[in-house]
């Protein structure tokens, strides 16, 4: 890879990906609305408000590929969601079209399907059932990606990221956890293959108590190497069982599905 | 019905629905960003910009039901789409939640699935493949509706309207046509039944060359009474055959799928 | 038809079928645990407790066909369900095997799938989700029928009867109603065709707000002639709308699904 | 239609189609290996052995469309099947490619799926299970058609014809019958629409005891107008019931499925 | 686990589970109609006839969990099946409801689906096709479990046990074998997770020639550790090939599917 | 195995299989239209033109099993395809019927489904979409096999071979590669099990970027031991990325799908 853009680079996920992708591209262009002070070798930084199309076009120019983690990454006000995730994702794709970038990793989220029951096994055909405005905005992003693929042949990996953390620390995370290594491997894989299409991939490690089926995406050739299995004993000990009727257990989205409207809080 | 809100009442579809729904509700509250001068008995008018949440909350207050046709109804700039269809639809649902309206008809569109081939038969499980930013915005609206149903129990009929016109005047319309009577019947049916859920319904008359399967929604009990069959001969005569390879024939969305990006035009 | 056995002949459904099937068979052998005093031409009566295998074998002997409506037809104590529906149905099939009857109509029930939501469309592949011990016992009967088909080639029509009544008198019945004529037509059809197999058929008239799909059974060639459509206006007027959240509306089984355990009552 | 080629024109089906299609095209070019002596207005005749590619190319030249009924239409020796149906159908498609004909009606057969059980409902996705070498050859023809569509954009209607007869005269025919009018309507419909693709259609009238589901082909807009229902009573009277275990009843292909290898007879 | 009830503890499977579960619960309450003389540390014994509801309620009282292996475990007279498996399983669930036990392991059986062909791959949606009255009774048990889940929120693992033996000793067992360790792991897993629902799980080890797909139950997080692969060579040597047409090979249930009615033997 | 026939033994695949199957059968009868001069222990050779039925009957006589690799193995003239693959495969099955061979391995090909997109995951239910006349002929062979199974109980493994080579040397082969060891294991497995049916199996090793799903055939118990994963790095280095729009990347068949008609070349 020559020059790769990483949006949302100042966030937790962005920071993890900076580390995990170190040395992969000749230049990793970091971007965020927040300034990143300390740069490593091979990194550069461009501050950018994703709600500003012209700024995004400038940002994208000269990049071979985009890893779009930017925007609001948890529930927020509609104003925040709209600026970061609706405008933001539209601007990324529209800039890619204008500038000629042909392949994008879009950080979608399991919260796009968070209102499915925990006893369901989801794949790329499962109906979208967002558990939050945040989840709705990720669905919008996937539709924008699909539209730019069908009309303008821009390919996307729509990674419905579970929970990218150093390790799973509670029972829900045993199902949703993805190691930083597995996610970075997936990002790299996306750019080493001939055809990507516009493909949904659930971003989870090889966890025993899995909710998600990626077999439709086997052509990509990515397989997670880590597993939550090694953390099960510790988690079972520390996170006590709840009643199966506890609302927080009903849906895959967990607390996102039980929390009321953000603006009421 | 006591007091029903009809948004987008000044548009073509809104005007047709005013006529077709005459006498159905005690009060039909018309709303649009454009002023409607001439009111019929049982109609009132409130001007409203759907991009203004407070105005929408005021608009919705006191209504039993909402028929949401408002917003941008063809492809437009992202600015227009965002104000009319992203903000607009979100505001309708959020206002309904705040005010307590429990059932909404949302005018979705066949352009949400316009990149499916004309040889495919779609139902409510078919992947969304929007043919335009307009189509993307209708998908956003459906996701908002699904979210407000799963979390706040607001029910919706997501009517993916084909083409509501006096009669089908070309070959594509033979598949997509819905008569004004059939659409009005569907709207009324939505409010006469006990349970609606959040249900996708393709809005088409009983056309022979149909692309869409509504059998999943049979519990609603709506069946179209009109058919494009009686217009076939006339259309076949007036609208000459194209080569099957003509791009405009490939996709259900027709010219929406072949037109480039709006902002380029 | 020469000699046909009708069990449960003294019940409401049995009485309706006696009338609707009059003249169809040379001899219609009525049976019930309750004595039927008045017989019409072509009818005979044999009292029988279905919980007694020997009595059932005697009953079945000499019959060409069995229409098995007998047993408990609503929720009851496990004792009643066991005697009437578990023992009873097993005895009917075992007697048929011993005596050589090769085709049986089994009155199954929509309460075998009563815990499905009213927004679902069911067919023969839908999981059994009984709403009562009564519903469980109908599932047992279907399994017995399937077993006697797979091992002993006894064919069955497993009619999941909705509500066989003179007319639908409330909103739920608009979906579940089957006219006596339609049900009698189905029973007759079962015996006029070459192959029946062991086939689930939802017993409902051609109702607009249908929950059930019989297309898998189209080879039988039965189509209902009646429809609840003509009763809709009257029902909508007399049966007021409930809140969509009312528990009694959630499931197809209606009050069967919300009532607690029979023995507690 | 200007100039349409009808192969197999001297056969029973060909003769029926000549009558039913009279006046439809400016010129109906009849072809067969057997000479047709009497021509009607608008008809011409060219003798042709379908096993001879050059002859077929000459035959096809100048035609707008092909209705390919030719070849062996019942079980035969492999020699006959190979010449008439393997070579024959390949030659038709290859000639169409060389000459530039873009749309073909191919008379496929229900015997391509004749080893499916009579209790199964088939559609275009059902596995091919031929009941005869004849059935195998129809599958070959469909694969040739699919190949010429995918690579050379020649469109086909693959009509799996049931039994095209003046009326159904036995019980099996109640399921498989297609009236000459319905078949001719379908043939005409194929050429009046913009897009055909390469589409399987079961050729049967609107029969109550149907085995086949054409809903995938609804975009074509063809609906049969006739039904075997009006003949049921007569057939039930004249064609006595067999035991459900009779091998001839097990499979849709009837006697084709129970007859041994042709060459042994 | 505090106090766990194990029914059918004197049987072969019960004895294996006693050993495999040793030390897992503070108290393992063994029950059977046959007295168990020798108890290990942490075990107690209560004799119980499952056909006696009051006795079962007493048995269940004070237990946190139930592992229900009791009843008839092979084909038997209807009398035996009824007492052990129909009454027995109903009594276990009804006692659980009365006493407040919320999670049950039910030993269902592969003989519930024993009339499926050996070339079919089954999952939780596969139709029930019992190969015996025993199989029918397991279906009844699953329906009771489903009913008590839907109405009373009692969760169940419906383990369709293949063949729990020290090792597979014939060819059929290569497909159906489950090691005692794998089954015990599954039982323990059921009680360590937050949500179980009412879930079918095929009880088989990780066998190469598998007939069953448990991917729908991946949320449980159980994976078998053993495999019949290591026994293949020995079995292939000792169990000679039969003709593929041998009836005993046709169905998954093996000899259960070919044996006639028990009462005739 | 006693006496096994290997057709196409002089070809590349045949040569590889000779080596990989050495010592497996008491006698491996090699056959080809080309003479094989050097025979190993346990091998014999019979020259045979598959287009000659009598010769094929003689060839097959006395064999227990057939591994049919013979015929045209790449695109060719229709004449060649017809003689080698249409006549040839028909003759093999017809000879097997006449002589009494009951189980056949048929070397089908991934080019039977070569017009599916590379983003699709295929299984045995996927529609046949041949990318060449060669692919069409493999579909013909599968239909012949299905017919001889349904009517004459001759079992077949229809192995849709990817690319059997020492190692994968380009990007497409990373998906389609099958090692000689894996293919030989599959061939042997076919003859060691009791039931084979007529089963499609995609012949590929355990490759990460797989297009094919063999889970329907798990009852056979074959699992590939090799994987293209170990060759990925080398291939990625040596085979440069193409534009995702390059026609040769669109379809699984690769260049077979983009090459025009053979006879034109």
Please give the pLDDT value at position C147.
Answer: 98
> Mean pLDDT, chain F, as a whole number?
97
How many Cβ contacts (< 8 angstroms) between chains A and E? 48
Q: Do B194 and C241 touch (CB under 8 A)?
A: yes
H/E stretch holding B104: strand B103-109
Over its C-alpha atoms, chain D yields an Rg (Å, rounded) of: 18
d(CA F221, CA A125): 29
Q: Which residues of E touch C (CB under 8 A)?
A: 78, 82, 86-87, 90, 94, 97, 115, 125, 127-133, 135-136, 139-140, 143-144, 146-147, 150-152, 257, 260-261, 263
* Average pLDDT, integer, range C109-129: 98
Q: Best of F77, F139, F253 to disrupt the D interface by mutation (most D CBs within 10 Å)?
A: F139
| Residue E41 region by backbone torsions, left for phi larger than 0, else alpha for psi between -120 and 50, else beta | beta
What burial class does residue B93 get, using C-beta atoms within 10 Å of its C-beta: 0-12 exposed, 13-18 middle, 19+ buried? Answer: buried
Determine the distance in angstroms separating the CA of F182 from the nearest CA of chain D, rounded to an integer.
28
Q: Find the residue in F nearest to D137 (Cα).
A: F140
Residues of chain B contacting D220 with CB distance shorter than 8 Å: 209
| Chain A residues whose C-beta sits inside 8 Å of any chain B C-beta | 78, 82, 86-87, 90, 94, 97, 115, 125, 127-133, 135-136, 139-140, 143-144, 146-147, 150-152, 257, 260-261, 263
> Residues in chain B whose beta carbon is closer than 8 A to a beta carbon of chain D?
117-119, 121, 171, 174-175, 207-211, 213, 232, 236, 241-242, 244-246, 249-250
**What is the average pLDDT across E54-82?**
96
Task: Give the confidence band of E265 by pLDDT, cuts at 50, 70, 90.
Answer: low
Please check the confidence at residue C265 and state whether its pLDDT lies above 60.
Answer: no
Q: Which residue of A has its CA nearest to F227?
A: A221
- Measured between alpha carbons, how far is C116 from A222 in angstroms, rounded to an integer? 38
The mean predicted confidence, pLDDT, of chain B is 97
Q: Do E221 and A209 count as a contact with CB atoms less than 8 A apart?
A: yes
Q: What is the CA radius of gyration of chain A?
A: 18
Residues of chain C whose beta carbon is less than 8 angstroms from a beta carbon of chain D are: 102-103, 153, 155, 192-197, 199, 215-216, 218-223
Contact present, D and E (at least 3 Cβ pairs less than 8 Å): no
Element (H, E) at F45: strand F43-47
What digits encode the pLDDT tens for the residues E156-169? 999 999 999 999 99
Enclosing H/E stretch for A108: strand A103-109
Q: Report how far apart the first and last C-alpha atoms of chain C are (Å, whole number).
A: 44
The reply to whether residue A244 touches residue E196, judged by beta carbons under 8 angstroms, is yes
Tell me the helix, strand and coil percentages in chain B, rounded to 5. 40, 20, 40
Q: Which two tokens stand for residue A232?
A: 């099960």
The residues near F158 (Cβ < 8 Å, ≥ 6 apart) are F106, F108, F141, F142, F145, F198, F199, F200, F201
Q: What distance in Å separates the CA atoms of residue C106 and residue C146, rounded to the nearest whole number?
A: 11
Nearest-CA distance A133 → chain B (Å): 8
- How, if at all, do strands B103-109 and B155-161 pair? parallel
Please, what sign has the CA dihedral across residues C24, C29, C33, C36?
positive
Catalytic: A134? yes
What local confidence, expressed as pLDDT, does residue F262 receive? 84
Bridge partners, residue E31, by sequence: E46
Residues sharing a CB contact under 8 Å with residue D101, sequence separation 6 or more, in sequence order:
D60, D63, D64, D65, D66, D95, D154
Question: Residue F265's pLDDT is what?
Answer: 57
CB B71 within 8 A of CB B84: yes
Residues of C annotated as catalytic (active site), given as ranges: 134
How far apart CA E78 and CA A171 sit, in angstroms, is 45
In this prediction, residue F263 carries a pLDDT of 76
- Which residue out of A90, A134, A202, A251 is catalytically annotated? A134
Residues above pLDDT 70, as percent of chain A: 100
Edge-first strand order for the sheet with B65-68 is: B43-47, B27-32, B3-7, B65-68, B103-109, B155-161, B198-203
The pLDDT tens digits for B55-66 are 999 999 999 999
Q: How confident is the model at residue A264 (pLDDT cuts 50, 70, 90)?
A: confident
- Residue that is written with structure tokens 């026939």 in the block: F5
CB C207 within 8 A of CB C174: yes
Of E128, E150, E263, the CB nearest to C143: E128
pLDDT given for residue F69 in this prediction:
98
Q: Cβ contacts (< 8 Å) between D197 and chain B: which residues?
A: 117, 119
Q: What is the pLDDT of residues C173-216, one digit of tens each?
A: 999 999 999 999 999 999 999 999 999 999 999 999 999 999 99
pLDDT at res. D248: 94
DSSP per position, chain D: --EEEEETTTSHHHHHHHHHTTTSSSEEEEEESSPP----TTEEEEE--TT-HHHHHHHHTT-SEEEE--S--S---HHHHIIIIIIHHHHHHHHHHHHT--EEEEEEEGGGGTTSBTT--B-TTSPP--SSHHHHHHHHHHHHHHHHHHHH--EEEEEEE-EE-SS--SHHHHHHEE-HHHHHHHHHHHTTSS---EEEEEE--S-TT--B--GGGGGG-------GGGGHHHHHHHSPPPPTT-HHHHBTTTHHHHS--GGG-
In tens, the pLDDT along A8-66 reads: 999 999 999 999 999 999 999 999 999 999 999 999 999 999 999 999 999 999 999 99
D138 CB contacts (<8 Å, ≥6 apart)?
A: D85, D108, D109, D111, D112, D130, D160
φ, ψ of residue C163 to 5 degrees: the values are -140, 105
A36 DSSP 8-state letter: P
Integer CA distances (angstroms), F113 to A220, B239, E162, F117, in order: 19, 37, 36, 9
The answer to whether residue E263 scores a pLDDT higher than 80 is no
Which residue on chain B is closest to C233 by alpha carbon? B192
Between helices D88-99 and D53-60, what is the axis angle to 10°? 50
Distances (CA, A) of C140 to A168, A226, D189, E264: 44, 45, 49, 22
Write the residue in D103, D155, D218 that is nearest to B209 by C-beta.
D218
Strand partners, D159: D107, D201
Q: How far is B74 from chain D (nearest CA, A)?
A: 25
CA distance C233 to chain B (A): 10
Neighboring chain C residues of D118 at a CB cutoff of 8 Å: 195, 219
pLDDT digits (tens, 9 = 90+) for E4-52: 999 999 999 999 999 999 999 999 999 999 999 999 999 999 999 999 9
pLDDT of E262 over the 90 cut? no
Interface test with F, best of D147, D152, D247, D257 (most F CBs within 10 A): D147
Q: Residue A80: helix, strand or coil by DSSP?
A: helix
User: Closest by alpha carbon to F85, among F116, F103, F108, F62?
Assistant: F108
Q: What is the C-alpha separation between E158 and E186, in angstroms, rounded?
A: 11
The pLDDT of residue B169 = 97
Look up residue D176 and give its two tokens. 């498989």
**Mind listing the pLDDT tens digit for each residue in A24-34?**
999 999 999 99
Instruction: Determine the Cα–Cα distance for residues D123 and D100; give it in Å rounded to an integer.
Output: 30
* Buried-exposed string D52-83: b where 16+ CB fall within 10 A, e elsewhere: ebebbbebbeebbbbbbbbbbbebbebebbbb
| Shortest Cα distance, chain A CAs vs residue B51, angstroms | 12
Residues of B in Cβ contact (< 8 Å) with D215: 121, 213
Residue F231 to residue B12: CA distance in whole angstroms: 62
Please give the Cα distance from D194 to B172 (Å, whole number): 9
Which of E228, E225, E186 lies closest to E203, judged by CA? E186
**Structure tokens, F114:** 């070569």
pLDDT tens-digit profile of B225-253? 999 999 999 999 999 999 999 999 999 99
SS3 F23: coil
Cross-chain residue pair D119–C192, CB shorter than 8 Å: no
The pLDDT of E163-183, averaged and rounded, is 98
Which residues of chain B lie closer than 8 angstroms to C236, CB-CB? 192
**A226 phi, psi to nearest 5 deg:** -100, 170
Residue B30 makes CB contacts below 8 A (sequence gap 6+) with B6, B9, B10, B14, B18, B36, B39, B43, B44, B45, B46
Smallest Cβ distance to A223: which of F208, F246, F249? F208
Q: Which domains does chain F have, with CATH numbers?
A: 3-264 (3.40.50.720)
Q: Is the pLDDT of residue A265 over 80?
A: no
Strand partners, A122: A212
pLDDT at position B265 over 60: no
Average pLDDT rounded to a whole number, residues D243-250? 93
Calculate how close chain B gets to A143, using CA atoms only, in Å. 6
Cα separation, B93 vs B83, whole angstroms: 15
Average pLDDT over residues C228-252: 96
CB B119 within 8 Å of CB B81 = no
Of the partner residues C127, C140, C150, the one whose CB lies closest to the CB of residue E140: C140
Q: Which of E102, E194, E200, E214 to mutate to test the interface with A (most CBs of A within 10 A)?
A: E194
Contacts with F139 from chain D: Cβ below 8 Å: 139-140, 143
Is the pLDDT confidence value at B126 over 70? yes
Enumerate residue ranges in chain F where pLDDT < 50: none
Per the CB < 8 A criterion, the answer to whether C133 and C262 are in contact is yes
What is the nearest CA distance from F178 to chain D, expressed in angstroms? 26
User: Among partner residues E192, E194, E218, which is closest to A249 by beta-carbon distance?
Assistant: E194
> Does residue D265 have a pLDDT over 80?
no
What is the average per-residue pLDDT within C12-31?
A: 97
Quickly state the pLDDT bin for B113 (edges 50, 70, 90): very high
What's the pLDDT score for residue E134?
Answer: 98
The neighbour count for residue D240, using CB atoms within 10 Å, is 8
């Amino acid at each position: 890879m020559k020059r790769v853009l990483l949006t949302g680079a100042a966030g937790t996920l962005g920071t993890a990906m900076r580390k995990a992708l170190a040395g992969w591209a000749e230049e990793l262009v970091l971007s965020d609305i927040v300034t990143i002070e300390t740069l490593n070798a091979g990194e550069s930084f461009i501050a950018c408000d994703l709600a500003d199309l012209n700024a995004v076009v400038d940002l994208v120019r000269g990049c071979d590929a985009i890893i779009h983690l930017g925007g609001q990454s948890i529930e927020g006000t509609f104003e925040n969601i709209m600026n970061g995730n609706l405008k933001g994702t539209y601007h990324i794709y529209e800039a890619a079209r204008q500038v000629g970038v042909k392949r994008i990793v879009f950080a979608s989220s399991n919260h796009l399907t968070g209102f499915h029951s925990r006893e369901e096994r989801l794949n790329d055909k499962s109906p979208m059932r967002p558990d939050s405005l945040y989840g709705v905005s990720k669905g919008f992003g996937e539709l924008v990606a699909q539209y730019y693929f069908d009309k303008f042949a821009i390919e996307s990996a729509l990674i419905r990221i579970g929970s990218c953390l150093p390790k799973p620390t509670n029972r829900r995370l045993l199902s949703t956890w993805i190691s930083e290594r597995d996610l970075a491997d997936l990002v790299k894989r996306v750019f080493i293959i001939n055809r990507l299409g516009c493909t949904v991939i659930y971003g989870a490690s090889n966890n025993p108590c899995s909710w998600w089926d990626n077999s439709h995406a086997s052509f990509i050739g990515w397989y997670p190497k880590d597993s939550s299995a090694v953390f099960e004993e510790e988690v079972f000990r520390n996170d006590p069982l709840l009643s199966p009727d506890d609302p927080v257990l009903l849906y895959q989205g967990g607390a996102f599905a039980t929390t009321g409207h953000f603006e009421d809080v």
